[in-house]
Amino acid sequence: MLRAFAALLQSMTRESVDTVVRYGGEEFLVILPETRLDGAALLAERVRAAFAVLRVDAGGTPLSTTASFGVTGIDFAGGQALAPHALIAVADELMYEAKRGGRDRVMARPFARQYAHDDTAPAA
């Protein structure tokens, strides 16, 4: 199932621009350097919908599952520094909000600029 999800992510992102990384057991990071937050949330919704209908053969038994997404972003045009783990922490918290809210959904929020220099991001 993880391989199928990774392949889906790769097929729906731009080669040589976007980056798909497995981050932990069942989590993935998708880095979209030339995409605004609204576009990233739209991509996450398209991936979510495509994954929801995907069936993976497991020894003759078709398996399916859902995915929850946390999406955040920041505009680097101002040249502000950012601790990458702070951005990841916000996306991770949004993903858990999506799971608590019923799973199989996308939660998106811009990264708060006041935390751009902190070592940690606040919980939502």
Clarify whether 27 is annotated catalytic.
Answer: no
Catalytic: which of 26, 27, 93, 97?
A: 26
Q: Which two tokens stand for residue 90?
A: 């916000």
CB atoms within 10 A of CB 16: 5
> Which amino acid does the sequence have at 45?
E
CB atoms within 10 A of CB 47: 21
Catalytic residues: 26
